[in-house]
């Protein structure tokens, strides 16, 4: 029997996705912007309270939604929970984007926006950050005149670490009456900046948040979309009945109840990020000002060889040579000890910033 499955054209035209996250266990994982210190012990206590009876039943969401909404300072009907930030982003495609639609992004940025658009077969309008990692605001405002279906902005942006000023976001929102504007605030706890309070003013504004970063729950998968109640109701129509698992809910509730732990972790990362940036400057490696739990660094043309060497030693960084220029890398900020280990490995590798100097 000859089988010919009726696969969609957009899927046939896609490259097969290579999952980047296998075989990392036991290594120094500074490649995915995770919380390397681990979540609050209160989370483990909450998970230990789950019983076989509870696990046997489909989860209920009302109580948890109420508590998590309070954490973000919104009403329960202004928040929608999803299976991680990635899944929260997918809902915009199910709700708004068909193959005739388009998305507007500024690269380099979080790759999932482009990824989902390619699955749909929608057009991707991609602007570029400058080599100084400046957001192309004028180009974005003029691209909005073509009414893209959804615009995605990560703020702070991954991998640049840059923060778009609130006045620029306001300009974008005002220029986009026909576009859903998604402000992806996966790293908002680190930047201390959020546009969540604006959801009552702008019906085209959607904010994505995650419990994977500051709360340290990447393994449990919980994300959220926060928006005006009437706009959020549209996304709700595209949701399955049980998108989030019970353990993730219990963990997130415990995590937000122990805000002190989140605050302490964020403070530690911010201090270590500044320290590590200074250390890289000392060996003449350029970094860009970051508002996230990571740093974008430019090791120049000899950078890629260094990253291979580090990888062989079990130190994982997220190389961004292809997306930006050879030698660019995104480094997650781990604990002080972890960053010291990385620094020692760089210095011991014989890496020379002079050999790695870029001409521009």
Ligand X SMILES: Cc1ncc(COP(=O)(O)O)c(C=O)c1O
Q: By the criterion CB under 6 A, which residues form the site for ligand X?
A: 33, 84-86, 110, 154, 158, 184, 186, 210, 212, 218, 223
User: Rounded to a whole number, what is the largest CA-CA distance in the chain?
Assistant: 66
* Angle subtended at Cα 19 by Cα 335 and Cα 309, rounded to the nearest 5 degrees: 55
Residue number with the smallest Cβ distance to ligand X: 85
The token duo for 92 is 């915009």
Instruction: List beta partners, residue 82.
Output: 223
296: helix, strand or coil: strand
* Edge-first strand listing for the sheet containing 294-298: 28-30, 315-319, 328-332, 294-298, 286-287
Do residues 216 and 187 touch, judged by C-beta distance below 8 A? no
The token duo for 136 is 């192309």
Taken in order 98, 99, 105, 107, the sign of the CA dihedral is positive
Mention every residue, 6+ apart, whose C-beta is less than 8 A from residue 229: 75, 77, 78
DSSP annotation of 286 reads: E
Encode burial over 252-271: b for 16+ CB neighbours within 10 A, e otherwise: bbbbbebeebbeebbebbbe
For every residue of 196-250, DSSP letters joined together read GGGGGT-TTEEEEEESSSTT--TTT--EEEEE-HHHHHHHHTT--S--S-HHHHH
Do residues 346 and 36 touch, judged by C-beta distance below 8 A? no
90 phi and psi angles, rounded to 5 deg: -60, -35
The token duo for 284 is 């003449």
The token duo for 310 is 């580090």
124 phi and psi angles, rounded to 5 deg: -110, 115
Nearest CA to 248 out of 25, 68, 56 is that of 68
């Amino acid at each position: 029997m000859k089988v010919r499955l009726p696969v969609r054209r957009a899927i046939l035209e896609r490259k097969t996705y290579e999952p980047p996250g296998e075989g990392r266990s036991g290594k120094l994982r500074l490649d995915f912007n995770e919380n390397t210190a681990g979540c609050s012990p209160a989370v483990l206590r909450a998970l230990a309270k789950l019983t076989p009876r509870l696990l046997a039943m489909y989860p209920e969401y009302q109580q948890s939604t109420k508590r998590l909404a309070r954490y973000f300072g919104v009403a329960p009907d202004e928040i929608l929970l999803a299976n991680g930030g990635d899944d929260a982003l997918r809902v915009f495609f199910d709700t708004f984007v068909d193959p005739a639609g388009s998305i507007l992004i500024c690269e380099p940025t979080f790759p999932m926006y482009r990824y989902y658009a390619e699955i749909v077969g929608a057009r991707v309008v991609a602007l570029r950050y400058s080599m100084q990692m400046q957001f192309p605001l004028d180009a974005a405002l003029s691209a909005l005149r073509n009414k893209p279906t959804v615009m995605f902005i990560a703020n702070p942006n991954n991998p640049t670490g840059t923060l778009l000023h609130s006045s620029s976001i306001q300009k974008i929102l005002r220029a986009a009456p026909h576009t859903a504007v998604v402000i992806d605030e996966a790293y908002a706890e680190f930047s201390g900046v959020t546009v969540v309070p604006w959801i009552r003013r702008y019906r085209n504004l959607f904010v994505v948040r995650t419990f994977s970063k500051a709360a340290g729950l990447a393994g449990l998968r919980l994300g959220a979309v926060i928006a005006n109640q009437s706009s959020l109701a549209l996304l709700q129509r595209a949701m399955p009945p049980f998108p989030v698992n019970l353990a993730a809910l219990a963990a997130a509730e415990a995590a937000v109840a122990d805000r002190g732990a989140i605050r302490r972790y964020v403070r530690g990362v911010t201090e270590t990020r500044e320290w590590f940036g200074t250390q890289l400057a000392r060996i003449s490696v350029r970094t860009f000002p970051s508002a996230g739990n990571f740093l974008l660094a430019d090791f120049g043309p000899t950078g890629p060889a260094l990253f291979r060497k580090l990888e062989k030693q079990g130190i994982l960084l997220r190389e961004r040579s292809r997306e930006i220029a050879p030698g660019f890398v995104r480094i997650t900020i781990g604990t002080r000890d972890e960053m010291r280990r990385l620094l020692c490995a760089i210095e011991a590798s014989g890496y020379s910033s002079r050999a790695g100097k870029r001409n521009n």
